[in-house]
């Protein structure tokens, strides 16, 4: 994750005059756009009407619930309602495209999911938006930790033991579907280690977990929130989590990095983005207010139930992760030969 740049003067460095002028002109242009936009111009502060937060998935899922957990409190802070609209279809592409084509004034936002924003551009032959060109990142709402679980009979109690056995003979792993973050995490594990891992897609992670418990398949890559109860009851064996740090829900389960794969960090994330060319002051205001909402104990508790760790980072940090994830998954998808229509 990109850290904020430290003050150059404090390090004894001289910032070139060209860089200073470029920064000044960029900020001036953004503020000028803010002042000239009819919905945020003089005498009409943002927001001037209700804000639409488009969720490109059906109501009731984790992505939808994560949006609704912040909408009311965000609306209270903005002084205008934040209305969650579900626009499902085409793995999130339909609702996401709608926001990309909306007016860049901050009144229409999208709940961006990593699968839609950084994986779909690589797995779909054609996609109706360009993540980098068409969107202005505001902030990442949170990360959902992924876990690799096994049937208790699998003769491996650690990631390295599993890798050694999977090099000798293939192991099947189930996920919530082709082209999702859990699927790509499994493919990346196979590509990096040489383990023979065969993907078995399901229509939802819950069915994959059921089949591991029932012994139909030996492994599953899934969200901690979906599998933690079965790990705690002994119905599933936890091999490791792919997050940067251990899960607060399963603190005894080591990370992949701790298990001998340094730098192997894969989380599923959700965040908020606006259409490209949205004025900078609007982006900054939305980021501040969303970060404040994410710090609310009630919201933290709701996110904890969903298995999401709140973040609320800067637009620059969020944009940096999007660029990094796009590059990373492009390589994994190409090598695995994944393609959806």
Instruction: Residue 199: give its domain's CATH number.
Output: 3.40.190.10
What DSSP line would sit under 265-320, residue for residue?
Answer: --EEEEEEEEETT--HHHHHHHHHHHHHHHTSHHHHHHHHHHTEEE----HHHHHH
- Asked whether residue 277 is domain-assigned, the answer is yes
- 57 in the same domain as 86: yes
Q: Which helix (DSSP H) or strand (DSSP E) does residue 264 occupy?
A: none
- Asked whether residue 179 is domain-assigned, the answer is yes
- Cis before 47? omega within 30: yes
- 112 in the same domain as 28: yes
Q: Which residues contact 93 (CB under 8 A, 6 or more apart)?
A: 56, 116, 120, 124, 127, 128, 129
Residue 224 zone, left/alpha/beta (φ > 0; ψ -120 to 50; rest): alpha
C-alpha span between 34 and 38 (Å, rounded) = 9
- 284 in the same domain as 296: yes
Containing structural domain, residue 120 = 24-37+46-144+267-336
- 138 in the same domain as 159: no
- 180 in the same domain as 68: no
Specify the pLDDT at position 18: 43
C-alpha span between 246 and 250 (Å, rounded) = 7
pTM of the entire predicted model = 0.83
Lookup: tokens for 91: 């793995």
Ordered alpha helix ranges (H), 37-155 = 62-78, 93-100, 114, 120-123, 131-134
- 170 in the same domain as 77: no
- 140 in the same domain as 272: yes
- 115 in the same domain as 64: yes
Number of H helices, E strands in the chain: 13, 10
- Asked whether residue 128 is domain-assigned, the answer is yes
pLDDT in 10s for each residue of the chain, 341 residues: 333 333 333 333 344 444 333 433 344 444 444 444 444 444 468 999 999 999 999 998 888 999 999 999 999 999 999 999 999 999 999 999 999 999 999 999 999 999 999 999 999 999 999 999 999 999 999 999 999 999 999 999 999 999 999 999 999 999 999 999 999 999 999 999 999 999 999 998 999 999 999 999 999 999 999 999 999 999 999 999 999 999 988 999 999 999 999 999 999 999 999 999 999 999 999 999 999 999 999 999 999 989 899 999 999 999 999 999 999 999 999 999 999 98
């Amino acid at each position: 994750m990109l850290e904020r740049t430290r003050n150059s003067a404090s390090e004894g460095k001289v910032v070139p005059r060209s860089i200073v002028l470029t920064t000044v002109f960029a900020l001036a242009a953004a503020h000028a756009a803010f002042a000239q936009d009819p919905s945020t111009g003089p005498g009409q502060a943002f927001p001037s009407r209700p804000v639409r937060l488009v969720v490109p998935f059906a109501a009731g899922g984790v992505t939808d619930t994560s949006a609704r957990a912040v909408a009311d409190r965000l609306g209270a802070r903005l002084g205008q309602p934040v209305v969650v609209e579900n626009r499902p279809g085409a793995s999130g592409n339909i609702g996401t495209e709608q926001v990309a084509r909306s007016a860049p004034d901050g009144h229409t936002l999208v709940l961006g999911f990593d699968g839609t924003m950084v994986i779909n551009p690589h797995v779909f032959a054609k996609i109706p938006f360009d993540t980098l060109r068409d969107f202005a990142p505001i902030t990442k709402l949170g990360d959902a930790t992924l876990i690799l679980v096994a049937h208790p009979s699998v003769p491996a109690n650690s990631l390295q033991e599993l890798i050694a056995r999977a090099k000798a003979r293939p192991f099947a792993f189930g996920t919530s579907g082709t082209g999702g973050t859990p699927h790509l995490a499994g493919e990346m594990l196979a590509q990096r280690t040489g383990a023979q891992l065969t993907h078995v897609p399901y229509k939802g992670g819950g069915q994959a977990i059921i089949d591991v418990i029932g012994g139909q398949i030996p492994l599953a890559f899934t969200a901690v929130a979906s599998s933690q109860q079965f790990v705690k009851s002994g119905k599933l064996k936890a091999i490791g989590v792919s997050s940067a740090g251990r899960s607060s829900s399963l603190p005894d389960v080591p990370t992949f990095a701790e298990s001998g794969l340094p730098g192997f960090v894969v989380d599923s994330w959700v965040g908020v983005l606006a259409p490209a060319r949205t004025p900078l002051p609007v982006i900054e205001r939305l980021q501040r207010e969303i970060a404040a909402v994410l710090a609310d104990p009630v919201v933290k508790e709701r996110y904890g139930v969903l298995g999401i760790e709140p973040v609320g980072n800067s637009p620059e940090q969020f944009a940096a992760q999007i660029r990094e994830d796009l590059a990373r998954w492009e390589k994994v998808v190409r090598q695995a030969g994944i393609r959806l229509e």
